[in-house]
Structures are given as structure tokens and as C-alpha cells.
């Protein structure tokens, strides 16, 4: 039903909160994109027509494959290979004969039509990925959903998507967008992206950030709250979408938008300078990455090194485990680009509910407390030694370090050190060049290692605090569970005490202590971390310019004053209120953020 002018004028301003996936502020009309989300009714197929249905499925897959390849080529030509590679996940799925055979088998076994079989098989695969604890794997579920929609649309003979009538200069509103949809929208001059689904590691988010398109994802029901033509505000910095904004709110955000763009350019230019606090304390700000393709963006913000190179990305979308040579090539290229700055490579943090091609995995009732990371690798020592050899080979210039994830005991460290020596022995025997002198560190993300930090500090060269899991395991809070997510906070007094305990143990033993979790990339936490004594922090390369500016505007005395005030508080909410007020008073206006 059309809305009358009176209806529009009297509608109240509404603020929706989602995931800040790509920074930027935009104000403009929205365009509602209705994807193919319906469930096709199963059509019973006569046995004689089963080959026909299988052929329809194969033809639709081939048609979808051509569409994706066309988008891939266009993206590569216009935006470069780095961004085009984001689309390869979907192309790879369409080339996975084992996966596609599941649909054909269902058509034959259940005597159902191609559209229904596609819907069921892809839905099961999507649900499987959604249950995984790793953000990257969960976000791959949306790639599978997008493929399902494209294939079913082609089976039905309706190749036209909702984007055909998109109006340039609009904010797209959708349940979810595939990577090729997002690229196509950029070509159509999309203003911003807001979706019900998706996360920070989804391909939609990755493409949006790469193209500089502001995006807020995970809004759950925004498609039910707006209609095409509604003017909204999308704030990709804070993850907010404002419906029916008042004239005053619009003016405020338009001013913020201009200021944000100016400040982003200034912050990027400042990145070339070393980072010192106001009173001259040198702080080393490193960046986290998972894919080699992120290197151009990382280098543009000029970090002091790579504080966390997650290697899981190398093992994704592979029909078999990457070889030692394949791994060594990638690690070496990254190390070479960063030399002489350090590169901390974390060994494979996977297992439990996560897929590792070529290695059998088991189904676990509680994968968060299960067979993953260092536990998994110590049970697959051949694969572990192979990765250690690859990392050693990348250490030719001596700027690579090894980081072990999810360590919970001294025994795991000692066993890993033995395997590291075995890797060196094998490389010498094989005559392969490598850097023998290499630092070995552990992630501090399980309470047991905080308690044993003084003992472990004698066996390793450095600590790296992973606050994401440390909070989860200490507070017994599943950060992906909406019912208890409000309890998850790195400002909990127990977390602050554990962080300080770890830092003190490392300093007493004379080893560096880095922080690479989300807390290190939280601007409001920076004053507390400086007051505790941190000199090495590692955050997403997207936040590095912002954090550098925060540090430059702080002096140690005022950080210590805030820390002492926080130490006297016993409730998490009081601590959050205290640090928020400190941040708001000093930085909100300066950094062009909305309050």
C-alpha cells in the first residue's frame, strides 16, 4: 500500500543496531531488494524424467558459473586481482563435483525436481556452516545461500535479479547480498549497503570495505521496516541505521559525514609517522591479517609489523591440505614485503567443528572446548611439522616469529618445541634454506595459562593476549549466543586483572607481551592498556590509523588516572560508563564520530 504524505511525516525516528562492516556515513533513499527466499514445493518426478531434472540442474549450474566468471573478469579488470579473488569461493563451490553430486543424488533417490533438491541440499550446507564457531566459516554460509538463489532462479528460467531496477545513488536494503551483487552495485553507484544477515568476515563486508562502500550488516529485519524510496541514515562507523530521520538528525549526520571523510584522509597521511604518546612514550602498533590479499591495504597504513597472521585462510576452499611449498611461498612473500618489520605467524587454529580438507574431523557437542588449534595439530604432527617447516623457510631474513594458539598447559609448549626442532632437523637434511633463529610465543586466551604465566614465560620468547577467547573462556560466555552476548565484555574487572597479571609476568621474565584481540582495536580500551604498560598492540589494519591518533593524543598520567578510577569499580557496567565518558570527552568530536 502506498504511504500518504501524512503517514511519512508522522512516523517516529527509529534506530536499528547492526554490525559495523564497512566505515562511512551516508544519507539517502533506500532501495529494497527482495531476493528469492521462498521455499519451492517439492514436485514428484516420474522416474523416466529424473535424467531431465538432473540435466536442468547441471545447465543452471553452468549458467550460474558463467555469470560468476563474467563478474570475476569484470571485477579483475576494473578493481584488480585482489578484489576479484573474493569471488573465487563461489566459483570454487560450483566446481566442487562432490558437493554438486549431493543435489543430483537427491533428485534420483527422492524423485524430486531440481529446484527443490537444490534448495534442500544448499540449505543443509548453509545451516552446517552457520553452526561453526569461526567467524570466517559462519560467513561462508551466506555465499552458499547466494549461490542457492542464483541456481534456483536459473532453474526457474528467471535470470533477472532485483538489482536490474536499482536506482543509482540509493542505499541497498536486502536480506543478504552475494559478492557479485555487491560489485555490481558499486558499478551502479550504490550509496551504502544494509542487510538482515552477514558479518564482518562475510564476502559482502570484505567487498564493501575494499570498494569503500559504507555497510551495516546483521540488522535481522530491516527489509520488513523500510520501503523503496524511504530516506535513511546509514552509519557504518557505529553500525547504526536510522529510519525516518528528523531534519535535525539528517543535518547532524551530513555534517558528521563531511567531517569523517576529512579526518580519514588526515589519519591516513599521519600513518607514516612513528607512534608516540603525548609525553614521548613509543608504542608499536601492529596489524592483524588472515589473507595475503590484504597486504596492499595493510601496507597503506604503515604498521610496525604484523602482530597476527592467521593461517586458517590458506586451508580454506582447498580440496587437500596446502603443501609445504605452497605455504612457504605465501609466508615468504608476506615476510619479504614487511621486512625488516616483524611478522608473527600463528599456526593453524582450526579443528573441532571446523573443516580441514584431507584430515578426518569428528562431530563434537561442544567444539569451543574441544579438539582444535594446538590440540588438533599435536594429534596431527605430520601436518604440524609441515607448517613449522614452511614458517622456518619464510624466516630467511629473521623477521618471522611463531605463535601457538589455544595453549592450556606447559606440556603443549614443550611438545611443540620438540616438533619445532624436528622441523629444523628435516630442513637441514633436505638442504632447504631457512632461518634457524626464530622466536616462539603462545596465545594467552585460556585462564589456566594466565595462572601459569610465570612458569610459561620461562619457556617461550613472547606472549600474545587474545582477548576474544580469553573473555569467552573466563566468563563462560558464548559470544555468538544472543541470549548471553550482553555478558561478554573485555571491560569485566576479572578480564582487566588477568590482562595485567599476564603483562606483569611477561615483564618480570623479560619477554615482550603483545595484545592481538579485539580489545587492542577498541579505542576506548587504549588508555587502560597504556596505563597497564603495553608497548605492543596489534589490531585490524582498518583500525590502525584511528588507534594511532588516539595514542598520540594521550599522555601517560591521564591514562593512569583513568586506570586507577577503573580499578576501584566492581561492576562491568560502571567501568564501561567510566571509559566511555573519558573517550567521549576527549575524542568524539576530534575523530568526527556520532554520539
pLDDT of the residue at 94: 79
pLDDT of the residue at 352: 44
State the Cα–Cα distance between residues 166 and 160, nearest whole angstrom. Answer: 12
At 356-380, the pLDDT tens digits run 545 545 555 566 677 778 998 898 8
CATH number of 5-35+162-264: 3.50.30.10
- Indicate the domain borders of the chain: 5-35+162-264, 47-155, 271-587
Beta strands in 93-251 (DSSP E): 171-174, 192-195, 215-217, 231-235, 240-243
Give the three cell numbers for residue 477: 560466555
What DSSP string describes 521-548?
Answer: G-TTTHHHHHHHT--EEEEETTTHHHHH
State the Cα–Cα distance between residues 18 and 21, nearest whole angstrom. Answer: 9
pLDDT of the residue at 233: 95
At 306-344, the pLDDT tens digits run 999 988 877 755 556 789 999 999 999 999 999 999 999
At 140-156, the pLDDT tens digits run 777 787 788 788 878 87
Nearest one of 405, 496, 395 to 449, comparing CA atoms:
405
At 241-270, the pLDDT tens digits run 999 999 999 988 888 888 888 887 888 888
pLDDT-above-90 percentage for the chain: 48
Class of domain 271-587: alpha beta
pTM here? 0.69
User: Which amino acids are annotated catalytic?
Assistant: 203, 516
- Split at pLDDT 50, 70, 90, the class of 37 is low
At 410-443, the pLDDT tens digits run 999 999 999 999 999 999 999 999 999 999 999 9
CATH number of 47-155: 1.10.274.10
Grid cell 540509493 is found at 170
- Split at pLDDT 50, 70, 90, the class of 135 is low
Please tell me if the domain spanning 47-155 has the same topology as the one spanning 271-587.
no
pLDDT of the residue at 589: 59
Amino acid at each position: 500500500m502506498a504511504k500518504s504524505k501524512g503517514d511519512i511525516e508522522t512516523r517516529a525516528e527509529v534506530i536499528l543496531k547492526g554490525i559495523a562492516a564497512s566505515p562511512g556515513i551516508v544519507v539517502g533513499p533506500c532501495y529494497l531488494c527482495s531476493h528469492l527466499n521462498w521455499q519451492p514445493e517439492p514436485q514428484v518426478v516420474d522416474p523416466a524424467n529424473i535424467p531431465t531434472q538432473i540435466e536442468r540442474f547441471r545447465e543452471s549450474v553452468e549458467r550460474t558459473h558463467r555469470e560468476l566468471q563474467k563478474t570475476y573478469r569484470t571485477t579483475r579488470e576494473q578493481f584488480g586481482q585482489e578484489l576479484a579473488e573474493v569471488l573465487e569461493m563461489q566459483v570454487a563451490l560450483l566446481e566442487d563435483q562432490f558437493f554438486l553430486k549431493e543435489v543430483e543424488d537427491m533428485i534420483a533417490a527422492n524423485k524430486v525436481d531440481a529446484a527443490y533438491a537444490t534448495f534442500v541440499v544448499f540449505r543443509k550446507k548453509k545451516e552446517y556452516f552457520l553452526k561453526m564457531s569461526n567467524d570466517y566459516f559462519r560467513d561462508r554460509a551466506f555465499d552458499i545461500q547466494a549461490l542457492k538463489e542464483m541456481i534456483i532462479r536459473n532453474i526457474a528460467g528467471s535470470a533477472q535479479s532485483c538489482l536490474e531496477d536499482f536506482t543509482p545513488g540509493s542505499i541497498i536494503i536486502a536480506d543478504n547480498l552475494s559478492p557479485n551483487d555487491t560489485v555490481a552495485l558499486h558499478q551502479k553507484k550504490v550509496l551504502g549497503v544494509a542487510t538482515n544477515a552477514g558479518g564482518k568476515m562475510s564476502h559482502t563486508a570484505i567487498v564493501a570495505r575494499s570498494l569503500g562502500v559504507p555497510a551495516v550488516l546483521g540488522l535481522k529485519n530491516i527489509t520488513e521496516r523500510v520501503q523503496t524510496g524511504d530516506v535513511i541514515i546509514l552509519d557504518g562507523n557505529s553500525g547504526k541505521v536510522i529510519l525516518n530521520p528528523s531534519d535535525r538528525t539528517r543535518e547532524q549526520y551530513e555534517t558528521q559525514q563531511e567531517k569523517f571523510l576529512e579526518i580519514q584522509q588526515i589519519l591516513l597521511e599521519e600513518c607514516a609517522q612513528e607512534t608516540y604518546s603525548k609525553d614521548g612514550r613509543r608504542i608499536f602498533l601492529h596489524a592483524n591479517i588472515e589473507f595475503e590479499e590484504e597486504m596492499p591495504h595493510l601496507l597503506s597504513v604503515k604498521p610496525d609489523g604484523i602482530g597476527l597472521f592467521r593461517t586458517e585462510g590458506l586451508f580454506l576452499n582447498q580440496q587437500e591440505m596446502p603443501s609445504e611449498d605452497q605455504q612457504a611461498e605465501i609466508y615468504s612473500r608476506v615476510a619479504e614485503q614487511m621486512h625488516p618489520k616483524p611478522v608473527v605467524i600463528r599456526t593453524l587454529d582450526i579443528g573441532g567443528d571446523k573443516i580441514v580438507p584431507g584430515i578426518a574431523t569428528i562431530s563434537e557437542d561442544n567444539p569451543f572446548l574441544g579438539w582444535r588449534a594446538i590440540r588438533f595439530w599435536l594429534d596431527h604432527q605430520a601436518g604440524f611439522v609441515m607448517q613449522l617447516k614452511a614458517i622456518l623457510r619464510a624466516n630467511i631474513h629473521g623477521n618471522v616469529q611463531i605463535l601457538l594458539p589455544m595453549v592450556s598447559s606447559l606440556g603443549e609448549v614443550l611438545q611443540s618445541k620438540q616438533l619445532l626442532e624436528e622441523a629444523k632437523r628435516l630442513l637441514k637434511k633436505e638442504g632447504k634454506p631457512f632461518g634457524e633463529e626464530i622466536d616462539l610465543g603462545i596465545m594467552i586466551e585460556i585462564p589456566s595459562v594466565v595462572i601459569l604465566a610465570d612458569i610459561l614465560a620461562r619457556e617461550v620468547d613472547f606472549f600474545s593476549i587474545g582477548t576474544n577467547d580469553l573473555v569467552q573462556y573466563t566468563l563462560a560466555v558464548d559470544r555468538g549466543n544472543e541470549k548471553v552476548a550482553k555478558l561478554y565484555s573485555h571491560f569485566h574487572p576479572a578480564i582487566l586483572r588477568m590482562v595485567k597479571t599476564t603483562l606483569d609476568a611477561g615483564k618480570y621474565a623479560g619477554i615482550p607481551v603483545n595484545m592481538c584481540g579485539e580489545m587492542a582495536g577498541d579505542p576506548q580500551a587504549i588508555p587502560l592498556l597504556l596505563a597497564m604498560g603495553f608497548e605492543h598492540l596489534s589490531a585490524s589494519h582498518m583500525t590502525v590509523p584511528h588507534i594511532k591518533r588516539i595514542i598520540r593524543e594521550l599522555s601517560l598520567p591521564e591514562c593512569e588516572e583513568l586506570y586507577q578510577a577503573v580499578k576501584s569499580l566492581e561492576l562491568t557496567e560502571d567501568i564501561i560508563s567510566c571509559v566511555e565518558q573519558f573517550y567521549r570527552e576527549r575524542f568524539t568530536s576530534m575523530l568526527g564520530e556520532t554520539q
